[in-house]
Amino acid sequence: MSVSDSHDRYAVIGNPVGHSKSPFIHGRFAAQTGEPIEYGHLLAPVDAFVPHVRAFIEAGGRGMNVTVPFKLDAHAFANTLSPRASAAGAVNTLRFDANGVYGDNTDGFGLVRDIEVNLGVSLKGARILLLGAGGAARGVVLPMLDRSPHTLTIVNRTAAKAEALVDQFAQAARDAACRLTGGSARAIEAGTYDVIVNATAGSLDASLPECDDRAFGAGTLAYDMMYGAHPTVFMEHARKLGARGADGLGMLVEQAAESFYVWRGVRPDGAPVLAELRTLLTAPPHA
């Protein structure tokens, strides 16, 4: 019997996808848990998401991680959605079983777990500032509200987008007894925030999001969803203002761990995999 016959098949689908760390992460999770999975990556043309997924299912595939640019396609493809996927309007995790196609979004869970478990910062009762109002931001609002913060302020260059998110999550905020506000950079209240999350893509081109420097302080965790071998410009800016900086590598590992749990019902430990990935990311290239 070959490995393919005895192992359940999973993959990450995207375009591009060759750079994805998901095969490495899930390979480590499989070794750690003893779960019999085989995990690869699948490059799909931007206009051919559905046929590629169907072919994967027909070949015995059990689940997928979904990355850019297919998270909206995956949302439309699923016939059952988790509450957090419905709220996010996007899917990053697909599970294929006798009930059909289940779509979930583990990004926000990964962010919250990285902040609370790996970085040791509780979001309960915290003053949180979320920079950006695109898909990345929308995917994390509900999981953050679930932690019952004191305040969540959403700021975006186009104020109407931030205000739309405030409207979308108003009931969830009331349920969490959290004051939810948003708008342009002027919506930032006086005083430092406990947690500032950069959900913009600014770090990709080394640009800073609009944010009042007075929002940062010695007790602030400044979290950038982007990651790289070196601190992002947002992290460097935050550190100059006395804040603690963190990147999104832990979010990547923890959202993967939650996907693994959605598929297998087993929760792997993200911390050792994160440590190994960090070492690999920052190691100097071989001569």
**pLDDT tens digits, residue range 123-156?**
999 999 999 999 899 999 999 999 999 999 999 9
What are the extents of the domains in the chain? 3-105, 108-249
| 207 close to 232: Cβ distance less than 8 angstroms | no
- Cα(255)–Cα(252) distance, integer angstroms: 5
Question: Considering just the CA atoms, what is the radius of gyration of the chain in Å?
Answer: 19
Q: What is the pTM of this model?
A: 0.94
- Cα(238)–Cα(231) distance, integer angstroms: 11
Yes or no: domain 108-249 corresponds to CATH 3.40.50.720: yes
β-bridge mates for residue 100, sequence order: 97
Binding site membership for NADP(+): which residues? Answer: 132-136, 156-161, 225, 248
**CATH number among 3.20.20.70, 3.40.50.10860, 3.40.50.10490, 3.40.50.620, domain 3-105:** 3.40.50.10860
Binding site membership: which residues? Answer: 20-22, 67, 92, 107, 132-136, 156-161, 225, 227, 248, 255
CA dihedral 110, 248, 72, 171 (to 10 degrees): 60
- Assess whether the region 3-105 and the region 108-249 belong to the same CATH fold: yes
Binding site membership for shikimate: which residues? Answer: 20-22, 67, 92, 107, 227, 255
Give kind and range of the element (H or E) at residue 128: strand 127-131
pLDDT tens readout for residues 214-270: 999 999 999 999 998 999 999 999 999 999 999 999 999 999 999 999 999 999 999
Question: In which band, very low, low, confident or very high, does the pLDDT at 4 lie, cut at 50, 70 and 90?
Answer: low
- Whole-Å CA distances, 59 to 62, 70, 84, 124: 9, 20, 29, 44
Q: Which residues are catalytic?
A: 71
